[in-house]
Structure 1
Amino acid sequence: DLRTILDGQPGITLGTGENGNAFGDRYVIRGHEARSDVFVDGLRDPGMTIRESFAVEQVEISKGPSASFAGRGTTGGAVNSATKRASTEYDFAKGSIGIGTDWHHRVTADINQVIDYDTALRVNLLKSGENVPDRDPADRNRAGAAISLSHQVTDQLEIVADVYHFRGEDSPDLGTYIDGDTGKPVKDIPSYVQDEDFLKSETSTATLRVGYEFSPTSSIVNLTRYGITENGYVATGARGTTAYPTLDDATNDTNGFETASLSTHQGWQDVDYFANQFNFLTTKELGETVHDIVIGVEYTDQTVINGVYSYTSEGASNCFTSGRRGVGEGYCWSDENGNTATDLNTLIQRDIAQGDKDSDWNVETLALYFMDTVELSDNWTAFGGVRYDYYDYSTFANYDPDGRSGPLESEWTEFADDGGYWNGHIGASYRFMDNANVYATFSTATNLNGGESDVGTSCGYGGICVDASDPQLGDPEKTQSIEVGTKWQLNDGKLLATAALFRITKNDVMESPSGDSYSTLGSLNTGKNRVEGIELGLTGNITDKISMSAGIAVMDAEVLESINEEDEGKTLANFADTSASLHVKYQATPQWAIGGTATYEDERFVGQPDT
């Protein structure tokens, strides 16, 4: 799936799993949240879904603020999947079968059929499943189909219609937990997945692409998409605690033992969205310079409804723990002797029903953009672009006026905002050798208060922040990036070496000074942080038989300003300062190849985004 692909890229950290972010894909690019900055064929793919690769031709990653291309958010970058489209060039049928330990099996098919000179049909299919290694009964199951129909109406007019359907259904394992004394993950904890746990994600989209070529140098492309996604999960988490074998022991604080108590993570999400993007592309010679111009307009209407599951626990408790509400019965994975609980995977025995929604997130956006790449000379190229986004934002959410969000004993409130903002990029490259250049670029991005669609009024997680003294949503967060770098073509153009030095500064950051990540109350536009670093890459063919992709990113983050002065000077949470990857393949014969992957990430700190 997409998260596995991105996990092997330097400068990107996964934020999914380990007793948090139980469903969907979450990426942190160059130190900044990018879970809402995922695109398919250039159109934003909203919601927290499982994203597969069986219908993907290639994955494109932009690093650094990318709002002139992608719109709101995109503080650290954006991820775009270019899908497989039907082609009238030739017929083919390809398949793959993967078999492994722990019942791993994966079957895919990719069939392109030319119907006639002007029409082609392409079908991609997926069926896969596996037990999570050494974590039985945790498992993962995937099934999907993508159909693309292409028709050349005239020599100038082409229409491509795509439909996509995917279903993922897992028994999720949320992994280990942090030892409160050492601050490190606890090792060798058994799988505590409950039999009733589930994680489901179902996606259906339909896309119509119309392209018209006025001339060899000018064309228009229009993309229209409608999509729906249904996500839901009930998963078991583990939290380190001191437990007691009896109520009397807990009351008198005697015979306590260190273990982990089991908790419930749950939620559902329904996504409904429409998008239309119109692009005019042309290459023009103006004076003595050649311009590659893109002029576009984009309209999107996105709705994300989040809710909760209601459940009762029918299983008998096996320990007593102290919590916010005092001493109570609980479920622990071990007893006082460190022995794994009997029938660990059937301890809780939840009776589950879908409950009420707790947030209704909506945003309509109309964007206009212009981009130009200019060949100034044989050696100099300049590029730039501007984008204006007008947004109408509205979220209905349950929240407690005292600051804590939640569906119970709360008020249904509308948080609304509208307005517009500009973003852009500008830069130049200089080719000082036939096979090498240097470049410099400046770019910006803007993120709305409450722009993360999956967290409602949880200010600390990127949801809506409200200052108790100011009922407004405040100004958007603003980001600027400066990057300089160089690119070299080696080995007769078969190998590309890159180096980039960058600095990303985020201003007007929303903060949650109480430290309560679920609180709605925060401070508006009081924070500022910076991530700077260097990234090196080497990709391509070393010899006729050896190909590789290697990279390393070394970054340094710092909180520059904060409502909590003691946070200033500290690093940011949720990403690794240093990450590296190496992918190598040896093509021994035309029919046989062997390859391998190695990745590295140094330590990262848990915590809320932007803290």
Structure 2
Amino acid sequence: MINQVFKKPTGKTGVSGSFTYGLYDFKRTAIDAETKYQDLAARLNVMYQDADSYRDYNYSNRWGIAPSFKWDISADTDLTLNLLHQQEDGVFDYGVPMYKGRPAGVPVNTYYGFINNRMLDTDVNVATVALTHRFSSDFSVKNTVRYGDYERNYLTHLYNGNASAGAAPTINRTQALRLNTQENVYNQTDFVYKKPLFGHNNILMFGSEFGWEEYDFKSKNSTRANGTTTTFPISIFDPILTASTPLTAVDFSGTLATNRLTHTQTYAGYVLDQFDITPEIKLLGGTRYDVFEAQQDDKIGPLDFSRSDSQFSPRGGLLWQPTGWQSYYFSYGKSFNPSAESLSLAANNANLPPEQNNNYEIGAKFDLFDGKLSATAALFRLEKSNARTTSPVDSTLQVLAGEQRTDGFEAGLAGEILPKWDVSLTYAYLDAKIIKSNTTATGSVSGQVKSYEGMTATNVPEHSGVAWTTYHLTDNWEIGGGVYYASHRYADSVNEAVLPGYARLDAVVAYHQKHYDVQLNVFNLTDTVYYESGQTNSALPGTPVSGQLTVGFKY
């Protein structure tokens, strides 16, 4: 999960940037400049990237610009404006086929797509305005309005069904032209009130959120030149890509496979309070109330629906800090997933109540050696009850008969263990199981029909972690390296398609000066073959050995 944060004006004046060149003709430039004049501060970020790929016939090209402004209207009031425009084009690629439940043993660059039909275009525009006012040192309010416009136009490249058996196995491919556009408007208001209660420190937070989204999705399936079929077999171990590859529809005229328009509205309010029982013990509690409405207009089929869900989502926690260097906590939260949350769900889910989620976590944090080294640990359980499953009576319908659970443990160590020697160690254990389900699927290896019940969730490694360390040889020179590790993962819901575990070794050498830095990164030093993600019939290989040289400057 990526938490995207705008780079806002800080009131300083300066410019920094970087230029990167790497293997597979990777080129990237980024500039960050800001200044301030009286009560107005401005900041500008621009980025351009152009790269080929270790995967044949793949490339990516993107550029973006993100200006931001801050106006200090008064000592207690400020207004910020953040804008973002980003465009990208590349290739829709799911990687190599799965064969007998494992990624096919072919070179990681092997491409199985349609070489004369490659398209993945994305266009993003986002504008955010935030007004903050401090009524006093104890009471403040912030109102944020965000508008987003997103467009994604692409030609898919999907594997259809399992690989064939025999001396020359093949796999079928399908392709479709797809376009999805989405437009969002949200308004969020947050109040913070800091005032002692019954002689104890207390922080009260409350606010509201209102918004709407409009999601439009169209797709058109590809056919051969004579229009006789929509599946195209290709050899797994000797793929031949020729100019006779079928032509996909170039526009959305004629018969469409999908044409849906979905509207959603969100109305929510929340209240959250942190109360200091003693200076060492803090209690946190609150709830959020959501009303989520959705309407879908299916322009070519009987999949129109309308749905409204409303529910409280409580959360609570207890924090104990017996000393300044140690703290312990417990937290609980409840949330829900409405049936229309994906904005493209079919009408057979329209009457389903929301799925329910419960999260429990207990953990600790220790700041050691005067805060130079930090250690963390957490034990948690994530539960999803009445999860959506396929009806045993009618396979076109879904029912709330499932249960999923993830039990996990995380530990981390970060900071300076000796002068000039820094480390970052993280480890995660995840036991993600489907506890109850009446959904079944045919195994890609056994050919037998199996239930999801008792299976491990897809693409979740049981063990994973990162060990990274850097050492400053001098005030200017720094070296480092580390290992990224993940145990095997299942790529399908009946646990017959497997992505093998791996350990990847990276390294870095850097030279630092006051106004510039030079850094060399080497990825996958041992040229390990590994797979980043997968599905029942496909696996996406990770990057083989590669390197990038970056020159950065700051003034």
TM-score, normalization by structure 1? 0.73
Instruction: Find the counterpart in structure 2 of residue 261 from structure 1.
Output: 172
Aligned partners of 2:176 and 2:248 also within 8 Å:
no
Which of residues 444, 453, 463 is equivalent to 1:578? 463
Instruction: Find the counterpart in structure 2 of residue 354 from structure 1.
Output: 252
Aligned partners of 2:309 and 2:353 also within 8 Å:
no
Instruction: Find the counterpart in structure 2 of residue 436 from structure 1.
Output: 326
Amino acid at match of 1:492: D
Distance 2:245 2:439 in 1: 42
Which of residues 487, 497, 521 is equivalent to 2:397? 521
SS in structure 2 of the partner of residue 332 of structure 1: strand
Instruction: Find the counterpart in structure 2 of residue 282 from structure 1.
Output: 193
Instruction: Find the counterpart in structure 2 of residue 152 from structure 1.
Output: 72
Instruction: Find the counterpart in structure 2 of residue 80 from structure 1.
Output: 3
Amino acid at match of 1:527: G
Amino acid at match of 1:237: L
Distance 2:290 2:147 in 1: 20
Distance 2:489 2:129 in 1: 42
Aligned partners of 1:302 and 1:362 also within 8 Å:
yes
SS in structure 2 of the partner of residue 286 of structure 1: coil
Q: RMSD of aligned C-alpha atoms?
A: 2.9
Amino acid at match of 1:164: L
Distance 2:246 2:288 in 1: 52
Q: Assess, with a 3 A threshold, how the Cα gap between structure 1 residues 587 and 264 changes in structure 2: closer, same or farther.
A: farther
Instruction: Find the counterpart in structure 2 of residue 143 from structure 1.
Output: 63
Distance 2:476 2:71 in 1: 34
Instruction: Find the counterpart in structure 2 of residue 554 from structure 1.
Output: 429
Distance 2:354 2:201 in 1: 36
Aligned partners of 2:175 and 2:221 also within 8 Å:
no
Aligned partners of 2:456 and 2:493 also within 8 Å:
no
The answer to whether 1:184 aligns with 2:102 is yes
TM-score, normalization by structure 2? 0.80
Distance 2:231 2:453 in 1: 41
Instruction: Find the counterpart in structure 2 of residue 52 from structure 1.
Output: none
Amino acid at match of 1:347: T
Q: Assess, with a 3 A threshold, how the Cα gap between structure 1 residues 185 and 432 changes in structure 2: closer, same or farther.
A: same
Instruction: Find the counterpart in structure 2 of residue 61 from structure 1.
Output: none
Which of residues 367, 370, 376 is equivalent to 1:492? 370
CA drift of 1:441 comes to 1.2
Instruction: Find the counterpart in structure 1 of residue 13 from structure 2.
Output: 91
Aligned length: 479
Instruction: Find the counterpart in structure 2 of residue 456 from structure 1.
Output: 345
The answer to whether 1:480 aligns with 2:358 is yes
Aligned partners of 1:333 and 1:344 also within 8 Å:
no
Distance 2:460 2:82 in 1: 36
Aligned partners of 2:383 and 2:404 also within 8 Å:
yes
CA drift of 1:388 comes to 0.4
Instruction: Find the counterpart in structure 2 of residue 380 from structure 1.
Output: 281
Instruction: Find the counterpart in structure 2 of residue 504 from structure 1.
Output: 382
Aligned partners of 2:58 and 2:90 also within 8 Å:
yes
Q: Assess, with a 3 A threshold, how the Cα gap between structure 1 residues 486 and 304 changes in structure 2: closer, same or farther.
A: same
Instruction: Find the counterpart in structure 2 of residue 540 from structure 1.
Output: 415
Instruction: Find the counterpart in structure 2 of residue 598 from structure 1.
Output: 483
CA drift of 1:215 comes to 1.6
Instruction: Find the counterpart in structure 2 of residue 69 from structure 1.
Output: none
Distance 1:547 1:91 in 2: 30
Matches of residues 95-110 of structure 1 in structure 2 within 5 Å?
A: 95-110=17-32
Distance 2:387 2:174 in 1: 32
Q: Assess, with a 3 A threshold, how the Cα gap between structure 1 residues 202 and 564 changes in structure 2: closer, same or farther.
A: closer
Percent pairwise identity = 23
After superposing the two structures, state which structure 1 stretch, 566-575 or 425-434, moved more.
Answer: 566-575
Aligned partners of 2:293 and 2:307 also within 8 Å:
yes
CA drift of 1:140 comes to 1.2
Distance 1:266 1:545 in 2: 54
Distance 1:592 1:85 in 2: 31
Amino acid at match of 2:49: S
TM-superposition CA deviations, 1:354-390 (whole Å, max 9, x none): 3555222221111100111122212111111210011
Distance 2:355 2:239 in 1: 48
Aligned partners of 1:498 and 1:536 also within 8 Å:
yes
Distance 2:40 2:138 in 1: 24
TM-superposition CA deviations, 1:116-141 (whole Å, max 9, x none): 121111000010021111x1221111
Distance 1:339 1:607 in 2: 25
Instruction: Find the counterpart in structure 2 of residue 232 from structure 1.
Output: 153
Instruction: Find the counterpart in structure 2 of residue 120 from structure 1.
Output: 41
Mark the runs of 5 or more structure 1 residues left unpaired by the alignment: 1-5, 7-78, 244-254, 318-324, 399-409, 458-463, 467-471
Distance 1:339 1:206 in 2: 49
Mark the runs of 5 or more structure 2 residues left unpaired by the alignment: 441-450, 496-535, 537-555
Instruction: Find the counterpart in structure 2 of residue 9 from structure 1.
Output: none
Which of residues 83, 89, 103 is equivalent to 1:169? 89
After superposing the two structures, state which structure 1 stretch, 562-571 or 222-231, moved more.
Answer: 562-571
CA drift of 1:508 comes to 1.3
